[in-house]
Amino acid sequence: MRGVLPTALLAFITYVLFTGSATPYDLFTGAIVAVGVGLLMGKYVVQSDAKALNPVRWFWSIVYFIWYMLVAETKSHIDVIRRIITGNYNPGIVKVPVDVETSYAKTLIANSITNTPGTYVVNMDEKYLYVHWIDVATEDPEKAREEISADFERFAKRILE
């Protein structure tokens, strides 16, 4: 029964947030759906119940979400808008090293890069992400890592490792 409780809890929170309703009917329906999701998917998405239910990891997840939405997205949108208006861009693919162990952490980093305007991951292997960057400032992998993925890595380590 590994993963049922954390998966159900996350599914319930997501359901309540997306429905925007806290009526008894919606809470009951959300609980039923969440338990079903937990039973069906828990063993596939959770490697350790203790890690998944750790409040420190949940705290860092919330901090990451807020930081990502308010800081990373805003800075990237402004940068892309400026590049569109000025026509000043130098697109290319750069090799970016990642220093995380779990596949979940790598996926979080890759998704964060892809969802940020101006960059997206086109391929990945064990130690590198290949990122299309709207304005290649450097082709040095370590410098590109600092520019593109270092902040995402710090959060991924706190949340998923």
* Tens-level pLDDT at each residue, the chain (161 residues): 788 999 999 999 999 999 999 999 999 999 999 999 999 998 888 777 778 888 999 899 999 999 999 999 999 999 999 999 999 989 999 999 999 999 999 999 999 999 999 999 999 999 999 999 999 999 999 999 999 999 999 999 999 88
Q: What whole-number distance in Å separates Cα of residue 23 and Cα of residue 92?
A: 50
pTM: 0.80
Q: What whole-number distance in Å separates Cα of residue 1 and Cα of residue 122?
A: 36
For 97, phi and psi rounded to 5 degrees?
Answer: -70, 145
- Are 118 and 71 in contact by the 8 Å Cβ rule? The answer is no
- Are 69 and 31 in contact by the 8 Å Cβ rule? The answer is no
Among residues 100, 133, 130, which one has the least CA distance to residue 116? 133
Q: What is the pLDDT of residue 50?
A: 79
Which DSSP symbol is given to 135? B
Q: What is the pLDDT of residue 53?
A: 82
If one counts every other C-beta atom within 10 angstroms of the C-beta of residue 46, the result is 20
Q: What whole-number distance in Å separates Cα of residue 137 and Cα of residue 145?
A: 11
- Are 74 and 31 in contact by the 8 Å Cβ rule? The answer is no
